[in-house]
């Protein structure tokens, strides 16, 4: 698959873009991107407000980038760090499957003992 990384001319500078598949892919660190209800995301006990503000700002920016990309006709695929950590093979297989599929939005996360796939 041909891909480019961090295209500056696209909203959110996606980690990977696959022009042939109209796919923009983000690999999100669960902490920095505020992955809710994820065991890899816990607000630090010190300077909690600072981190809360910072991380929710990142999440707002992510949502804006996703909207912008979709408005430009890109499909958006989000791979969370927890999915890669807990279910590496299944995550990659599912990602490639989804790239070839028709979903316009895909979110891959760890559900503990299984991979959680949300596709729209
Ligand atoms: Zn996570």
- Total structural domains within the chain: 1
- Position 4 in a domain: no
Range of the domain at 44: 16-119
Distance 28 CA to ligand 1 centre (A): 8
Q: Is residue 9 part of a domain?
A: no
Most distant CA pair in the chain, distance: 45
Residue 79 belongs to domain with CATH number: 3.40.960.10
C-alpha 43 – ligand 1 centre gap (Å):
13
Closest CA to 103 of 119, 82, 85: 119
pTM: 0.94
Residue pLDDT, tens place only, 11-65: 999 999 999 999 999 999 999 999 999 999 999 999 999 999 999 999 999 999 9
Question: From the CA of 40, how far away is ligand 1's center (Å)?
Answer: 6
**Edge-to-edge strands of the sheet including 23-28?**
16-18, 23-28, 75-80, 105-110, 115-119
**Is 1's pLDDT higher than 90?**
no
């Amino acid at each position: 698959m041909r891909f480019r990384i961090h295209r500056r001319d696209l909203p959110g500078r996606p980690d990977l873009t696959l022009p042939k598949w109209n796919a923009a892919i983000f690999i999100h660190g669960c902490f920095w991107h505020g992955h809710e209800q994820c065991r890899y995301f816990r607000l630090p006990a010190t300077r909690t407000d600072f981190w809360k503000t910072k991380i929710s700002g990142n999440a707002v920016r992510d949502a804006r980038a996703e909207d912008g990309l979709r408005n430009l006709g890109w499909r958006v695929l989000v791979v969370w760090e927890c999915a890669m950590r807990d279910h590496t093979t299944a995550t990659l297989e599912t990602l490639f499957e989804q790239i070839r599929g028709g979903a316009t939005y895909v979110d891959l996360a760890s559900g503990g003992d299984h991979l959680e796939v949300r596709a729209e």
